[in-house]
Amino acid sequence: MRLLSFFITLLFALNSFSQAKIDSLLQLCEKAPDSKKAALYLELSLNLRTDSAKSNSYVRQALKLAEKQKQLPEQAKAIYYLGENNYYSREYSKAIPQYEKAVALFESLKDSFNVTNCYNSIGLCYHLMYQGDKAISQFIKALRTCENDKEYTADILSNIAMAHAKMNNHRDAITYYKRALNLNTLIKDSASMAVNYNGLGNTYTNMDRPDSAIVNFRMAYNLFGKLGKTGYQNIALTNIATLYPNYPDSLDKAIISFNHASRKFKELGWNQFDPDIKHGIGLVYAKKGRYKEALDAFRESLILTDKFKKGFELKRTNYLEISKTYKLMGDYKSALKYHELFVQYNDSMVQKEKYEQIVNLEKQYETEKKQNEINQLQARHILTDIQLRKNKQLKTLGFVTICLLLIFVLYVLTKYYDKIRVNHLLETKNKTIEQSENELRRLNAAKNKFFSIIAHDLKNPFHTVMGYSYLLSQEYNSFTEEERRKFADDIHHSTNNIFRLLQNLLEWSRSQTGRLTFTPREIELKLVVDNSVNVLRSLADQKNIRIEINLDQNLKLFADPQMIETVLRNLVNNAIKFTPENGQIKIEACQTDGQITVSVKDSGIGISAEDAQNLFKIDSTVKRKGTNNEDGSGLGLILCREFVAKNNGNIWVCSTAGEGSSFFFTVPSSVHLN
């Protein structure tokens, strides 16, 4: 809704504010007194929001003038505009501090409306940075400050619903959409009601509840129709048509609805929806068994997807449906060809999403680093002030000593205790600085580790994949079947390495930024171990490594199951990596004193005593190749240490070079907790 409002505002601005008006405002700024200039510069920046550089320039001029004239409302508005410009430039991590500064100023002015705006904007920033929990927290703050404004309350409730929907919290999303709908119904805001119904329809669709979804889409369709919003009405109709294939007797109705929506979109000039409609028609034809017509529709959707630059998602889905259709026709060769294209586009989407998350993490890290530097400078400034004050006091002491011995004695005693206090304060501040420096070192080590993995460990397997795939694509017929099989095995091995590394990177980055949800519960250890080993069974089979699991079937622990699975998966994967062919891995567990101790023992190459001391450190440089030259980043063991600590346990290693390794970790048992 925020983005939609922005584009509507932008179109209005483009139509209403011509260059003549901007020139007129500039002339007014030159002639106006200083007390009026800040407001005029702010109006100029608002009209030039499409040019962020010029807009920011005028905002800063307004802020400087407002500070000089001590105009607090203009100062607050200027800082808020800086946040808005960063928001529309998608610099969300830079926008958040500006909004937070503006909140403090608006609160001092008792301007609850703009306080609500700031909290809502911060929430949208976190939402777009894939930090849903933080987004919802800010929306709740906005909700508390606009209790008397039903229209704004309804908008914020819709934003909370949107955030829950993005996090796949479908039930919470429905609850908030319905609360927003009730308010919009009360104030008779039909446009917002239509949007709420459409949101409910999408949420029910994602929950695989087509009956409820269709009911809500029809409500949105009727409301958009009454408002004369034909384009949005057709979007609702398209959503309805997409659900008709769930009902075998409604397939013809789906075709009719798709064609009707297509004609209306063409009349409006909204041709960008043609790829989606063709895709929907293809799905219906495939369900009716009219495979040739389905293939034609999917191919036409592919062409239109490129024409209108619809992105990876629709193209990926089209390739998948073409593959399924060929399979139903018995043409398995064509089905395999299009399934491979689907996999390629699917992997590209995953890489793009992870890259965007990494970029957001880097921006957030840089912001936090700068804030730490500011705090350190402030601490040093305080220390300097204390030292200057101390010197001044000593000079005063010398002067008083010359005047009167008795006063000198009394003064010395007083200053003695004062000196102890000052030294204690200095000691406290020095400890604070030392803690800040240690935290900076830790953050710098984490950053270096992160960039090292991206620059080397992630890049190297990609070279293998690209190199072999290039050879296969350019000189396929010049290689023997055995060589081509070796290339395929190497590509498969490299992509497995890439996937495991990206999985560890994502989980580690979530733990570093506080976005990792910790949900401990009672779980069966045997089930967790089986899930972890089954994922890696094929890797062990490739090296003919036998995995033995010796543990009590009734052992239960109280921990987060996903975290413990990640720990076991990394430990077993390392054991496979550093165990030669025909080796053995044992997984055992025992319960003592309310704790369960799990061990992963291998008959591998072992670890030297020096390397064993540094295995779990973020700044460690211990990186070794596996027995079959497998790559490793060292991130897995760091992730294991953090996840075990999160579950109130410890992890350690016992190993001798050439004699295998034994990794141990502890977690609380559920019996002890009860």
- Separation CA 650–CA 641 (nearest Å): 8
Q: Is the pLDDT of residue 89 over 80?
A: yes
Task: Give me the mean pLDDT over the 192-209 stretch.
Answer: 93
How far is Cα of residue 184 from the mean position of the Cα atoms in its chain?
Answer: 31
Q: Summarize the confidence of residues 520-531 as an average pLDDT.
A: 91
Grouping H, G, I as helix, E, B as strand and the rest as coil, residue 146 is coil
568-to-276, 392, 428, 454 alpha-carbon distances in Å: 43, 63, 42, 24
Question: In the prediction, which pLDDT does 216 show?
Answer: 95
Best-predicted range by mean pLDDT (6-10, 22-26, 27-31, 202-206): 202-206
Question: What 8-state DSSP symbol labels residue 652?
Answer: E
**Per-domain residue ranges of the chain:** 1-148, 354-457, 518-673
Whole-angstrom Cα distance, residue 457 to residue 466? 15
| Top-tier CATH class for 518-673 | alpha beta
DSSP secondary structure letters along 332-390: HHHHHHHHHHHHHHHHHHHHHHHHHHHHHHHHHHHHHHHHHHHHHHHHHHHHHHHHHHH
Residues 6+ apart with CB under 8 A from 569: 532, 535, 536
Query: Is pLDDT of 664 > 90?
Result: yes
Residue 395: C-alpha distances to residues 401, 403, 406, 417 (Å): 10, 13, 17, 17
**Residue 358 confidence class, pLDDT cut points 50, 70, 90:** very low
Burial 660-669, CB ≥16 within 10 A → b, else e:
bbbbbbbbbb
Q: Where does 1-148 sit in CATH, by number? A: 1.25.40.10
Model confidence at 359, pLDDT cuts 50, 70, 90, reads very low
Mean pLDDT, residues 173-179: 95
Q: Where are the alpha helices (DSSP H) in 1-91?
A: 2-16, 19-31, 34-47, 52-69, 72-88
Q: Which of 12-16, 425-429, 620-624 has the lowest mean pLDDT?
A: 12-16
Report d(CA 106, CA 116) in Å as an integer. 10
Residue bearing tokens 């459409």: 198
Give CA–CA dist 120/155, Å, rounded.
10
Distance CA(132)–CA(394), nearest Å, equals 56
Each residue of 224-262: pLDDT tens digit? 999 999 889 989 999 999 998 889 899 999 999 999 988
* Residue 479 DSSP symbol: S
